Structure formats: C-alpha cells, structure tokens
Chains A and B, each alone.
Chain A
Amino acid sequence: MAGRYKSKLTWDDVTPKSAWLNRRQLIAGGAGALALGSIAGPAAASLEAQKTDYGQGLEPNTLEEITSYNNFYEFGTDKADPRRNAHMLTTDPWSVEIDGLVDNPGSYSMEDILDGVTLEERIYRFRCVERWSMVIPWVGFELSDLLNKVGVQAGANYVAFETALRPDEMPGVKSPVIDWPYREGLRLDEAMHPLTIMATGLYDAPMPNQNGAPIRLVVPWKYGYKSIKSIVRITLTEQQPPTAWNLYSPQEYGFFSNVNPERDHPRWSQRFERRVGSGLFSKQEPTLMFNGYEDEVANLYQDMDLIEFH
C-alpha cells in the first residue's frame, strides 16, 4: 500500500547515493552492522524501497551522522555508546508479540510482518526533546498496514510498544536509568495515521542496530523518544498504556509528546533546535509546530489543550 501519501516533493532533494556511500566506506566500524547476514556488502544492501516524494526541501543528514549520534540507553547513556555497543544485539531471528485487542494475536516473525508489505522511503524530520534534530531517509511501511493485518478489535483505543530487554546483549540495562523495558504508546488514531511508520531501514539499507534494528516506530511529529526502537511487543489496549519517560518524570514527558515550540519543557526551551552536524558556529533554527507536520496532523488534536496534554 505504498505511495498513498502524496505531496509535491521530489527525489532530487536527497543527497546522491554515491555521495553518502563514499562517506560510508570511511566508517567501516559503524557501517559493519549494515553488512550483517547474507547481504554481500554495504553497496549491495539495497532494500529497493519504493521512492516516495516525501521530504521536499529537506537535506538528509549523512549516514555517518545518523549512526554515530544516538540515544539508545539500553546500550549506554553516551551519544556514542549505541554505535559502540549495539552490535551485540541479535536481530535475526526476530519476532514481535502482537496481543491485546486484536483478532489474530500471536508471535510474528519479521518474515510474517514483511509479508505482502511494500517498503517505501520516507524522508522525515526527526526532533529530539534535547533540542537536536536530523533529517532521516527512513525505509518502512505504514503501521496501519500491520494493524489491519492483525485486525484491531472494537474497544481498542491505544497501541502499546515494548523494546527488547536483553541484559546479555544490552550493557546499558544493568543500570536503572529508567524502569526497563522501554515502553511507548500511541492513541489508535495516531497509530493509524499515514505518517506513522514501522521502519526497517534507512538510506535504502537494513536498519543499523544503533538506530533500532530490526524494526522500530517512527512518528515524525513527536519528540524522538516516542519513536521506540527494536520492538518485541505490540499490544492493543483500551486504556492509555504506561510509557517509559512519562513514568520517570510526568511533568517533563507527557504521553502525547507532540513537538510544540510553545510548550516549555522544564529542562529545555523547545523554541529552537540545532541540526546535528552543523558545526561549532552554527545557529539554532526555530522549531516548527508538530515538527513541521501541522497540516497533516493538527486535526488529530482539534479540541485538545496541547499545553495541558503535552
């Protein structure tokens, strides 16, 4: 069901593949994760994702930037830790437990999940609550495709997600940084929105481990921590599910966590952001309402006070 989302964007806006492939060859360490499995090498690892014209005027960050500066606390709290440690994560075989209010609950292997799915490329802005941002050419499919496949039952209002918790493969979970496992959630209409994708790759190659291999959520109009990585469980629920950062500090991290320059976070003003990779003397850029996706998603929150329900 690829290509449903139309806009006036062109593929020419993306960094030419040859340019980032060259850069990638310089970073053998990080890119090594991409070459895992039966894939011959980075250059051959194409997922042949269907091009979409989403991302007009956006220049994606380089693969090196996207794979070197990560928050994935299961592998350590330093931005460089995930790249250093995420190779320990076994991503094949992988299965996702889908349960709760669904017609066909059960354990779904990656093959099951990708069966009949057309992967497409989505170039999205990514905004971290810590005030840094990137533009990432994700590869994935709409979450609604998966939810329709498993059959959402009447009475389901929310979708809960859970990240793998493997102390043997995740050195960061030995420390109680948050209440493991990492959990996230969406309201059902947010989950069914065509912008919401399950991503299995980026830059037309399989997802690097540090970015949430083999399958992760991407919700571009919310702060990055909502886009949960390395998912092992999806549960359809009636009640709003508990979410990791909200449990840690509810006044800082709301359930919705929509990017909102007007909603002051206790730690950071959210009015501005800085693009990762823009250098020592770069200026901050103004943050956009819903991270620039206001036209597409504002109608989901029509009668809501977005300051109270942050």
Chain B
Amino acid sequence: MTLIQRLNIGLRRIPPWTLYFVGVIPLIWLFWLAATGGLGFEPIKELEHRLGELALQMLIVVLAIRPLYDRIGVNLMAFRRALGLVTFLYVFAHMLVWLVLDVGILSEIWADILKRPYITVGMASLVLMTPLAMSSNNLSLRKMGPKRWRLLHRLTYPAAFLGALHYVMLARGFQWEPLMYLGVVVLLLGLRLRLPRRSVVA
C-alpha cells in the first residue's frame, strides 16, 4: 500500500462535519482577542485583515483539493463542501466587520462599494460566492441536477481570482505577499485548464 493510499484511508475516518466545528474556532478566538485587547490598538482593522487573510488561505485550500486528487491522488474531496462553506463564513465575517465595525455609516458604505475599486472587487467576489454557499447542500444538488450545479459552482474560479485581486489592490506600495497569494490562485486555476484537443482531420 502506498503512502497516499494509507493517507486516504486515514482521511476517510474523519467525518466531514467536524470541519464546521474546527472551522469556527479561529473565528470565535479572533473576535475574543479583538474584544479583549489581544489584537493591538486598532482591533477593527486587525480583525478585518486577519479574517480576510484566513478566508483567502482557505479559498486556496479549497481550490487545491481537485488538483491534489487528480494529479497526486490525495483524496480530500469529501471535505470540499464543508471547507467551502467555512471559507464563505470567513469572507462574510470579513465583510461584516468592515461594514458594521469599520465603516458603520450607511452612506459611506455605499460610496465605498461604488467608488473604491478594491472594495468593488471584493464585494463582487462575495456576491459570486453567495449562491455557491446557498446551494452547497444535497437538496439544491438534487433540484438543480449535477450538470447545472457544477456549472454554477464554476463561479468559484472568478470569485477566488477577485478575492486575491482585492488583496493586491489594497496594498500600499509594492508588496510581495498579496502578489504571492494571487500567483498561487492563478496557478491553481491554471491547473484546471485543459488544452483544446487538436482536431483530427480525416
């Protein structure tokens, strides 16, 4: 038995629902830190940034699951739905912290979404993810049928790209870190491209 087979057998013993519980721990922990002074003197900004960064990291894990399975054989496919939903939770919490705690003024929120390109892009990413989160259940899958459901869930790709772009756009000055996130996302999306088959002339 290969190492990967053994790994897959081990992974199969972990029920996917446990991810929901593990997934919310950092969220609760970060809010606790922010409320009790553990995130420094600008807790709102720090919380906002940490949630956004975690969301982006999880998004990268979600995107890596398919290529890991196809190319290496590591099977995390059973966790994809739970991970996707937890990712959405962090994206949503990130947006809520910005909306309620950071800006908090309705006219300013609307102006920001329309006028600040990095916020427009971030919001677009969240909007694209919303139907994905809402249809991440068996009932939706049955109702829509697997073909249409899969087509809908391709929205993950533009959503991920826009999420990473959002980070690049908000960096002041030239900074490596956001560019590396964008690079990894683009790489993971690139792995999904299938080169068009050469047409065979009879």
Q: Please indicate whether A and B come from the same complex rather than being unrelated chains.
A: yes
A-to-B contact residues, CB < 8 Å: 64-65, 68-69, 73, 77, 79-80, 130, 132, 175-178, 248, 264, 266-269, 271-272, 274, 276-277, 279-284
B43 at the A interface (CB under 8 A): yes
Annotate B184-195 by CB proximity to A: 1 below 8 A, 0 otherwise. Answer: 000000000000
What is the minimal beta-carbon distance from B31 to any residue of chain A, in angstroms? 8
- A176-B174, A280-B34, A280-B101 known; A69+B108 contact, CB < 8 A: no
Question: Which residues of chain A are within 8 angstroms of B47 by Cβ–Cβ distance?
Answer: 280
Main secondary structure on A side of the interface with B: loop
Question: Which residues of chain B are within 8 angstroms of A284 by Cβ–Cβ distance?
Answer: 103-105
CB pair A269–B40 under 8 Å, yes or no, is no
What is the minimal beta-carbon distance from A128 to any residue of chain B, in angstroms? 10
A65 vs B40: C-alpha distance in the bound complex, in angstroms? 9
12 contacts between A and B (CB under 8 A): A65-B41, A68-B40, A69-B42, A80-B40, A266-B115, A266-B116, A267-B118, A268-B116, A269-B108, A269-B111, A269-B115, A272-B105
CB pair B175–A77 under 8 Å, yes or no, is yes
A65 vs B37: C-alpha distance in the bound complex, in angstroms? 12
Question: Which residues of chain B are within 8 angstroms of A65 by Cβ–Cβ distance?
Answer: 41
What is the minimal beta-carbon distance from A64 to any residue of chain B, in angstroms? 8
What is the minimal beta-carbon distance from A219 to any residue of chain B, in angstroms? 20
Question: Which residues of chain A are within 8 angstroms of B117 by Cβ–Cβ distance?
Answer: 266
CB pair B40–A279 under 8 Å, yes or no, is no
Chain B residues with a Cβ closer than 8 Å to the other chain, count: 26
CB pair B170–A178 under 8 Å, yes or no, is no
Question: Which residues of chain B are within 8 angstroms of A281 by Cβ–Cβ distance?
Answer: 101
Instruction: Select which of A178, A266, A267 is within 8 A of B173 by beta carbon.
Output: A178
CB pair A279–B43 under 8 Å, yes or no, is yes
Question: Which residues of chain B are within 8 angstroms of A175 by Cβ–Cβ distance?
Answer: 174-176
B24 at the A interface (CB under 8 A): no
- List the 9 closest pairs (A to B, CB-CB), nearest first: A177-B173, A280-B43, A277-B41, A65-B41, A178-B173, A280-B34, A69-B41, A276-B41, A176-B174
Q: Which of B40-77 contact A (CB under 8 A)?
A: 40-45, 47
B141 at the A interface (CB under 8 A): no
Question: Which residues of chain A are within 8 angstroms of B170 by Cβ–Cβ distance?
Answer: 267
Interface centre among B41, B47, B105, B112 (most CB of A within 10 A): B41
CB pair A280–B44 under 8 Å, yes or no, is yes
B127 at the A interface (CB under 8 A): no
Question: Which residues of chain A are within 8 angstroms of B116 by Cβ–Cβ distance?
Answer: 266-268
B78 at the A interface (CB under 8 A): no
B14 at the A interface (CB under 8 A): no
Q: Closest A residue to B109 by CB, please name it.
A: A269
- A68-B40, A132-B42, A283-B104 known; A77+B111 contact, CB < 8 A: no
A268 vs B108: C-alpha distance in the bound complex, in angstroms? 10
Q: Which of B98-123 contact A (CB under 8 A)?
A: 101, 103-105, 108, 111-112, 115-118
B152 at the A interface (CB under 8 A): no
Interface centre among A271, A276, A279 (most CB of B within 10 A): A279
Q: Closest A residue to B31 by CB, please name it.
A: A280
Interface centre among B34, B40, B47, B111 (most CB of A within 10 A): B40
CB pair A79–B34 under 8 Å, yes or no, is no
What is the minimal beta-carbon distance from B106 to any residue of chain A, in angstroms? 13
What is the minimal beta-carbon distance from B72 to any residue of chain A, in angstroms? 33
What is the minimal beta-carbon distance from A46 to any residue of chain B, in angstroms? 25
- A79-B42, A267-B118, A269-B111 known; A73+B173 contact, CB < 8 A: yes
CB pair B108–A79 under 8 Å, yes or no, is no
